[in-house]
Structure 1
């Protein structure tokens, strides 16, 4: 089955996912659609289910000496309620392009199985569809964690803990590039930042805002002073390690006739340098406590681990560089522009094993923005899967030898140096 032949079915599935976006760990309809596709095209291959919605399928090994490579796609949508196609109840929309990741991976899977081309590969191949890459809807995930349904907010760390990648030697991830590009484009060797997530609860005391504001301590003023302090502090932040902070007030029950006794601020703290990330995080904590104390209140800071920086494996990307040179449709290769301040849990995977992220154009609008849309489905769902398969078939010659491998316990130890780890983080049985 050629990519042109499978295109109508893949396009229909991708369009359906666009119309029915789901948030992380709740991608039940999405997961069913993916499983049905894998069943139709998988010739009886067993499908492993993990976490709430994750799926994994292994193509048979053609050589016991082969390394096993996982193609990893993400199931979830982002929250961007300003987008006209966002779910009116949840604000979810695939302005991240994850629906196309799924389509690319499924097109590659169907082609490899129907043609038997997987037997020609110098590696063994698996396909893993993971939930919850976007670090959103955190209150729901906190409730799920309290109920014991998940441990990590990110889908890849959760899968890593569950042993989904225990038999995998290296990973190939996928991601969309936002913005209308002038020609069919793919990108390799682009690093990503890591981040922490801080929740600061400012606490003051309530009083009547008109009659007796003098007896109150305004928690909202503390939050305002804190966000101002973060802005002023940017002058003392290094420019070379992609530091970013985006403080938001996620919700409030304040009224105008009561001095607010509580205000909550959430912010990410990003950097491509883990040591500097720890330093910036401590500055954020100091600013929170200092701003609260300056106005007579207190601050309670909670830190949640986000994701580690993505360091792409240069050797593996050589397979995609060679595949690009053979492709007549894809005409632009963005090769090693350094790192960007976006983050993803592909970085956590790259801590454990050699990992790359193949990115691709074919869209217009700002990624995560209200105008993001797929405009070149033929490039995204025909040319990119074709490039992916060509790269996979020659990947064995481009793996580092031997591929490095760190354990999940080592991952937990690394995370613990910069943020608290969740209870039960050292692992549990697959489900």
Structure 2
């Protein structure tokens, strides 16, 4: 890797984040490192804090008197995922950056520093902000539920939380970042890859405990209900559409079972994914019916709690044209993936894309499986030098690639859409902000 001061500083920061992973809404050490970097390279720019650990820095407008001037946000994620099988996972929490979020932070910070030091941000045809959001990975849910009860957060995802807090009120479009797992054939980037949305269901089966040896006849086995339920989900897959990437992955996160007691309570957690929002609601209703039927069949009861995960992510193809042009002019990055269409992975970039044109630049430079025990960065030259250089050049011309008319929906519209398929936290319904409009375009 090149030994210039900026790249060395970014590599050191990314390495430090890898060695000290933190889970969502707890990224205090990570946020402090990011804030210190922004203050060192920000030429006096103020750093705005939001939620528990979120950060935002805004470059001044290069044309403040231009009413047509738009503002774009580069968005990076602060948190790690739970993958305790990874050899570098935190032994206490299981946290590890097997998602590559530590490199998102490095790329965004490198671009920020380059644009400020060179003054190139003043030549861009769009104004720029940089937003570092907590809690993209949908994990550690008991902790997030406690934070919600304590009034510290409302949404489990960091981008919906930021949307509610007005962090994106002055933003017209967004660029997100993400690593690509698996060793790529040469320096690679990817665009135009859509993601699924999902709901998360907690299904609590209730039976009756009894002595499993002496008197199992007086018991009602909640574990049997859970087994019947997971079997029903497996058999139901034949009736699920394949074109919208439906995924259901039930797990038993914890249990009180012992071998000499008929289990009286078993909890199953499952996500329900699809790239089609309407069909996602339909499949979720089928999952509920299966749970209710399995409990009734074996003489028990069930309580189902639904938590909204994230909306499907549809990338803005017009905005991605800026990356296509930049790739064609780049002699360091040799491979562009732009034909995958959609995958069943999910992210809260989907929620942001509901409100405004949003794209995600994905990049190779890693080996192993995303979220797996073998994931690691193997090409820091590509990840931390070539990709930031491409992104910095792309941002200078992104304003000319914004769709026209510019689509925009409000946070109130977002809440209304969520409420049609899942319960919405009471705290998610603030009075409408003056900047919000229900118009689709502006």
TM-score range, shorter chain: over 0.9
Q: Name the counterpart of 2:130.
A: 127
CA distance in 2, matches of 1:173, 1:207: 53
**Residues 69 and 126 of structure 1 are in contact (CA less than 8 Å); yes or no, is this contact kept in structure 2?**
yes
Aligned position for 1:70: 73
Structure 1 residues 126-166: Cα deviation after superposition (integer angstroms, max 9, x where no partner): 00000000000000000000000000000000000000000
| Aligned-partner Cα distance in 1 for 2:380–2:372 | 19
1:209 & 1:416 partners in 2: Cα distance? Answer: 43
Distance in 1 of aligned mates of 2:275 and 2:344: 7
Q: Secondary structure at the match of 2:260?
A: coil
Q: TM-score, normalised by structure 1?
A: 0.98
Shift >3 Å, 4+ stretches: 2-5, 427-430
**CA drift at 1:326:** 1.1
CA distance in 1, matches of 2:331, 2:428: 47
Distance in 2 (alpha carbons) for counterparts of 1:139 and 1:337: 35
Farther-moved stretch of structure 1 (358-367 vs 333-342): 333-342
Shift of 1:88: 0.5
In structure 2, how many angstroms separate the alpha carbons of the residues matched to 1:373 and 1:229? 37
The residue number in structure 1 matching 2:263 is: 260
Corresponding residue number in structure 1 for 2:61: 61
Q: Alignment length, in residue pairs?
A: 429
Equivalent in the alignment of 2:321: 318
Q: CA deviation at 1:429?
A: 11
The SS at the match of 2:98 is coil
Contact 1:202 1:300 in 2 (8 A): yes
2:190 maps to 1:187: yes
With over 3 angstroms needed to count, the CA separation of the structure-2 counterparts of 1:3 and 1:176, relative to structure 1, is farther
Map of 1:22 onto structure 2:
22
2:46 matched residue in structure 1: 46
Pick from 160, 169, 191: which aligns with 1:166?
A: 169
Report the RMSD for the aligned CA atoms in angstroms: 1.3
Instruction: Report the secondary structure of 2:33's partner residue.
Output: helix
Write the mapping of 1:183-262 to structure 2, written as runs, cut at 5 A: 183-262=186-265
Alpha carbons 1:162, 1:427 under 8 Å: kept:
no
SS at match of 2:258: coil
Alignment partners' CA distance in 2, 1:145 and 1:224: 31
Partner of 2:142: 139
User: 2: distance between equivalents of 1:400 and 1:336?
Assistant: 21
Q: 1:374 to 1:429 in 2, by over 3 A?
A: farther
What's 1:352 paired with? 355
Using structure 2 for the length normalisation, give the TM-score.
0.96
Task: Please name the residue that 1:153 is paired with.
Answer: 156
Q: Is the 8 A contact 1:4 1:382 kept in 2?
A: no
Match of 2:382 among 379, 382, 396: 379
Q: CA deviation at 1:5?
A: 4.2
- The 2-side partners of 1:426 and 1:81 are apart by 36
Structure 2 unaligned segments of length 5 or more: list them. Answer: 434-442
Structure 2 CA distance for aligned equivalents of residues 226 and 235 of structure 1:
15
Contact preservation (8 Å) 1:162, 1:428: no
- After superposition, residues 67-146 of structure 1 pair within 5 angstroms as 67-146=70-149
CA distance in 2, matches of 1:250, 1:44: 47
CA distance in structure 1 between the aligned counterparts of 2:396 and 2:405, rounded to whole angstroms: 19
